[in-house]
Structure 1
Amino acid sequence: MIRTICKWMLYKKLGWKKTVTVEHPDKFILCLAPHTSNWDFFFGQLYERAEGLKINFLMKKEWFFWPLGPIFKHMGGIPVWRSKHTSMTDNLANTALDREEFRLCITPEGTRKRVEDWKKGFYFIALKANLPILLYGVD
């Protein structure tokens, strides 16, 4: 029911189109760019539900306050402490290796502002866990 509603809203009502050229494996890093607005999160969640996917995502820890924190975690959110060195890439790679399914969406800009260089954490997670990187562009 939710999937049908999300498909209708995203593809019919909002007029979005998708071009996916590969099947989604059980484990992958989804590299999504550009990330220019908080609306990207809304559209990403709509897409995830329309396609019947469950994909975790990284989000700065400041968003994980009550009551949003538990909601974001339930949706698959993983808080990121950007000011600390927490071995996050190693931890995520180890989690990927331990699980039968691992799907993680990362916006490589690391911010909604225009940047010249992408952060490379998604690449190192994929390299350490031998995961494919799926490139998604949002226009």
Structure 2
Amino acid sequence: MKRFRGFRPSRLSLQPGRSLRWLAQLLLKIFGWQVEGTVPTEPKWIAIGAYHTSNWDFAVMLLATFSKQLRIYWIGKHSLFRFPFKTMMRWLGGIPIRRDKTYNAVQQVVDEIERHEKLVLVVAPEGTRKATDHWKTGFYYIALNAKIPIGMSYINYERKVLGFGPMLYPTGDIDADFAVLREFYERMSVGRFPEKQGTVQIKAPKAE
């Protein structure tokens, strides 16, 4: 597998300052949202964004992270980082990856993480806003290979809360680790459209 060297997001990215923090806190209050839990202090970790059922999830997440002055990054297809959107995408924390079969997408992200002293990567494991019977496992193997924890962040539209939950340190036993994730998210998270929530389990193997 080839490796694709993307841009280094720390050179150009959105760093929430005091003014942005104050504005985010004000908007959260106006719309009746709260942020609960403690922001992890680990320098590098993956933040799960679940359940992801609406485009509004991204707006709420941004306000919540801005209110905590937390700089976040996300993964995007490399073609999104071309002129004239390249600078804006990098400013917003984008990490470009190639998804061609000749490139190892997980290793590309691991390489980016290893180049930085601090990096919080937000991932929506469902990979879609539609109902799905499994979560994608890329985030898990990124954390496992980069030797960083997974933060169980969640959104709850019933309570209008975005929260920072406990950390999961991948053991390599994906079934056991997903059981921990499943118990937590079924208890703590409610999407805007609950009927579209993805089942917290790995994809079942195809029948031969």
Structure 2 length normalisation: TM-score?
A: 0.59
Q: Which has the higher contact order (CA 8 A, sep 6+)?
A: 1
CA distance in 2, matches of 1:64, 1:91: 15
In the TM superposition, what whole-angstrom CA distance separates every residue of 1:57-84 from its partner, at most 9, and x where no partner exists?
Answer: 12456755665443222110234555x2
CA distance in 2, matches of 1:19, 1:5: 18
CA distance in 1, matches of 2:77, 2:58: 13
Q: Which of 92, 117, 122 pairs up with 2:139?
A: 122
**1:48 Cα shift?**
1.7
* Match in the other structure for 1:54: 71
1:5 and 2:23 aligned: yes
- What is the number of residues matched between the two proteins? 137
1:26 and 2:34 aligned: no
Structure number with bigger Rg: 2
Q: CA distance change for structure 1 residues 115 and 60 in 2, over 3 Å: closer, same or farther?
A: farther
Q: Which runs of 5+ in 1 are unaligned?
A: none
RMSD, matched Cα = 2.1
Give 3-state SS (helix, strand or coil) of 2:70's partner.
coil
CA distance in 2, matches of 1:115, 1:60: 21
1:45 and 2:62 aligned: yes
Contact kept in structure 1, 2:48 and 2:124, CA below 8 Å: yes
Q: CA distance change for structure 1 residues 81 and 111 in 2, over 3 Å: closer, same or farther?
A: farther
Q: CA distance change for structure 1 residues 36 and 91 in 2, over 3 Å: closer, same or farther?
A: same
Identity %: 34
**1:107 Cα shift?**
0.2
Give the residue type in structure 2 aligned to 1:29. I
**1:132 Cα shift?**
0.5
